[in-house]
Structure 1
Amino acid sequence: MTKLPDFHGPHVCPPLPDAEPVEWEVPMARFVRVRVLRHTCECKPCVYEFCAAGGLAWVRRTQRRESGETVRESHPTTVGKAEVLWEKLMNGQAG
């Protein structure tokens, strides 16, 4: 049997002291189909997904704890603005 390599996705940098705050909202079922275009590594207790639907995009954050999962999302916006938020999260400039 062939051993598969250990795959890891990108990790989010810890927020910098001057990181801009993100307003995380409770997800609302506003789209029938959501596409996850990018995601961070599953090895961390907090996973981020770059989502798109209906011409809009946003970031979904899932925090996993012993007590269960908490899912929050940024506000849906244009793909370009969501991309900026994604990059800021990845670089620790937002949190």
Structure 2
Amino acid sequence: MSDLGHLTETYHSLHVAPLQSQHERVAWRLEAPRADRIRVREHTCPCRRITYEFCMAGGLAFVRRTYRHDGIAVHESDWLQTRETEQLWLRILLGQAR
């Protein structure tokens, strides 16, 4: 069995693919406190200026986008059924939506 420890030392998290020319524009809205607790199910690597999180709360799911520049700006996608948000999450990761 080979030693794979070096892979976990260099792996951060998921990176989004480059934006495709024919991509869907996501309607981002300012973050709003809609639930007491939010569960982050997946997230992209924090080494990038823009990060994304797949979040769940109150039986719904959404994608949170955080932009770090001269401060922090946090936006959310629409809160949808989990299946719909999973599809949006995949399109974001593949560069098919932003």
Question: Cα offset for 1:13?
Answer: 1.0
> What does 1:52-63 align with in structure 2 at a 5 Å threshold?
52-63=56-67
Question: After TM superposition, what 4+ stretches of structure 1 lie above 3 angstroms from structure 2?
Answer: none
| Secondary structure at the counterpart of residue 10 of structure 2 | coil
Q: Does residue 9 of structure 2 align to residue 5 of structure 1?
A: yes
> Distance in 1 between the 2:73 and 2:80 partners?
22
Query: What is the aligned-residue identity percentage?
Result: 43
- Structure 1: stretches of 5+ with no match in the other structure: none
> Distance in 1 between the 2:14 and 2:30 partners?
24
> Distance in 2 between the 1:88 and 1:53 partners?
21
> What does 1:14-93 align with in structure 2 at a 5 Å threshold?
14-65=18-69, 67-93=70-96
Match of 2:4 in 1: none
> Distance in 2 between the 1:90 and 1:52 partners?
18
> Distance in 2 between the 1:22 and 1:69 partners?
19
Q: Aligned residues, how many?
A: 91
Question: Cα offset for 1:6?
Answer: 2.9
TM-score when normalising by structure 2? 0.89
- Structure 2: stretches of 5+ with no match in the other structure: 1-7
| Secondary structure at the counterpart of residue 8 of structure 1 | coil
| Secondary structure at the counterpart of residue 5 of structure 1 | helix
User: 1:2-59 CA deviation, whole Å, 9 max, x = no partner?
Assistant: xx82331010112111101000000110100000000000111111000001110000
Report the structure, 1 or 2, having the larger helix content.
2
